[in-house]
Structure 1
């Protein structure tokens, strides 16, 4: 087993099976041969990939990072070979997707059954978070994000747009009153985000000009879904994307505040992917799938 791809296959099998003997049995190798491959890898990389004991084999943090990279590389190799050997390449392999929680909950997750039925060879690895994620470091293939794009090393395709609104539940307004001007918000509990891109100011348009007003509150959260739940519970006022509160507004569960001062700030929604020249078939078909399914629903 001299090739690096062969070593990667042995390593990933050990991680997935949990032991040298199980990996060896699956690959028709002796446990000793598997152990030598792992030792050779560790020596070349200069790190421990596993913590070993007489009864337990645990993947180290470095081993986990290496495993994620190996899976990605091996999937690309398999796809490249299949593309050469088949007249038409069937997309397959692991597809790592990162989506904001509201967008994932309302739009992406409901589409996954349709996507996997259409492309059964693709293994979906879906993560939902509103925090800023380094796509390259996290080995993310595709991300869906709302708002301005800040990473020029990735390409993006627009899926649609969404407005934003300041909202509260009727129960909160009954207890604390309805703000009549943006200045009134200083007397109210306003929710905000706790990650680094967030601002504690909200934009409002007054006499044709946009001003940013500071807001305060004693509750911060890292995602819009939690903020929506807190707002529905009557705990305060929030500023949220219309794409995931439109049903709440239509039903009266939430009420838009200060609509005359809404600056009409529209945020674009993009699917983001690597700027590298080569795009795997699984990434390409997923992007096309999102455009097909979401563009009609995300028109501002």
Structure 2
């Protein structure tokens, strides 16, 4: 009965975490009916109802809530034991769930994963791209790429690279409207603002005489940096973009960096973050080590490696 209950406990814990039989079935690679049978058998063996089932939702009984706390610990111990065995084999297997920002993920992750998965063909990658910060623990992610000024949190972080913000415009825009020589001249130019910032219409610079803050009046505002960079390439205005978004366009001459003597302060860093665990799974550790190596030398060298064949 113990072995059967262990299977049932694993399925039950996943049902609670996913809040549905169908969600648990997807995570476990089982049919919905098989998940339901495991939970029903577990309840029969224990002689107590763990879940209240309706056509619309599931809810834990009092006994189910208590039992889940113990199940979660047991399942974690089982996973830890499995990860330890994987460590002994030295070969990562299973599914690696990664969250990354939309534009960064689209631009860089396919190239990074192509090489990595060639090294470790036993891995399956489940990639989630979104500009909002996901809850790694609640949503079941192994790790995430975060591009930010990292704040204190319960997550463990390894810094991959720093990134700067560049003020850019297309050659056509500069030919038509002229190139500003000082940040204060931006008020007379068409600008493009990225709105996922605390103050998207205030651009800060470091000049020879100290900090400079300029309030721009954008002709276009958008919550996606890829969009504003493309708009800048189309000659619609001047944009302030992070290095990782405009590096290729600068390399190909589609955009020109301006106001170089007034460099924008460093915008933050690119981090690999993961939940604090007693035992870091091999698949996570190896992938983060791989990212650290790929970004060694900073974003500039990484970009050169990507665009060297152009």
Return the TM-score normalized by structure 2.
0.72
| Per-residue deviation, 1:184 | 2.1
For residues 146 and 194 of structure 1, the distance between their equivalents in structure 2, rounded to whole angstroms, comes to 15
Does residue 1:156 correspond to 2:161, yes or no? no
Of residues 159-168 and 265-274 in structure 1, the stretch that sits farther from structure 2 once superposed is 265-274
| Per-residue deviation, 1:151 | 3.7
| Per-residue deviation, 1:221 | 2.4
Superposed CA deviations along residues 64-113 of structure 1, whole A, max 9, x for unmatched, are xxxxxx9xx97984562363498425322222212223332333221112
For residues 207 and 114 of structure 1, the distance between their equivalents in structure 2, rounded to whole angstroms, comes to 43
Could you say which residue in structure 2 is the equivalent of 1:280? Answer: 281
Could you say which residue in structure 2 is the equivalent of 1:235? Answer: 236
Of residues 281-290 and 261-270 in structure 1, the stretch that sits farther from structure 2 once superposed is 261-270
Does residue 1:44 correspond to 2:45, yes or no? no
Unmatched runs of 5 consecutive residues or more in structure 2: 16-20, 60-70, 302-310
Aligned residues of 2:173 and 2:235 also touching (Cα < 8 A) = yes
Aligned residues of 1:165 and 1:242 also touching (Cα < 8 A) = yes
For residues 169 and 241 of structure 1, the distance between their equivalents in structure 2, rounded to whole angstroms, comes to 16
Aligned length: 275
| Per-residue deviation, 1:136 | 3.4
Could you say which residue in structure 2 is the equivalent of 1:134? Answer: 135
Aligned residues of 1:129 and 1:223 also touching (Cα < 8 A) = no
CA 1:284–1:262: 2 relative to 1, 3 Å:
same
What root-mean-square deviation, in Å, do the aligned CA atoms of Structure 1 and Structure 2 show? Answer: 3.8
SS in 2 for 1:127: strand
SS in 1 for 2:179: coil
Could you say which residue in structure 2 is the equivalent of 1:66? Answer: none
Does residue 1:5 correspond to 2:6, yes or no? no
For residues 292 and 61 of structure 1, the distance between their equivalents in structure 2, rounded to whole angstroms, comes to 45
Superposed CA deviations along residues 149-179 of structure 1, whole A, max 9, x for unmatched, are 0242112112122222100112223343332
| Per-residue deviation, 1:252 | 2.1
Does residue 1:244 correspond to 2:245, yes or no? yes
For residues 222 and 248 of structure 1, the distance between their equivalents in structure 2, rounded to whole angstroms, comes to 20
CA 1:214–1:140: 2 relative to 1, 3 Å:
farther
CA 1:85–1:141: 2 relative to 1, 3 Å:
closer
Could you say which residue in structure 1 is the equivalent of 2:210? Answer: 209
Could you say which residue in structure 1 is the equivalent of 2:220? Answer: 219
Does residue 1:120 correspond to 2:121, yes or no? yes
SS in 2 for 1:94: strand
Could you say which residue in structure 2 is the equivalent of 1:109? Answer: 110
CA 1:254–1:89: 2 relative to 1, 3 Å:
closer
CA 1:109–1:5: 2 relative to 1, 3 Å:
same
For residues 220 and 192 of structure 1, the distance between their equivalents in structure 2, rounded to whole angstroms, comes to 5
Aligned residues of 2:162 and 2:266 also touching (Cα < 8 A) = no
Aligned residues of 2:201 and 2:218 also touching (Cα < 8 A) = no
CA 1:247–1:92: 2 relative to 1, 3 Å:
same
Return the TM-score normalized by structure 1.
0.74
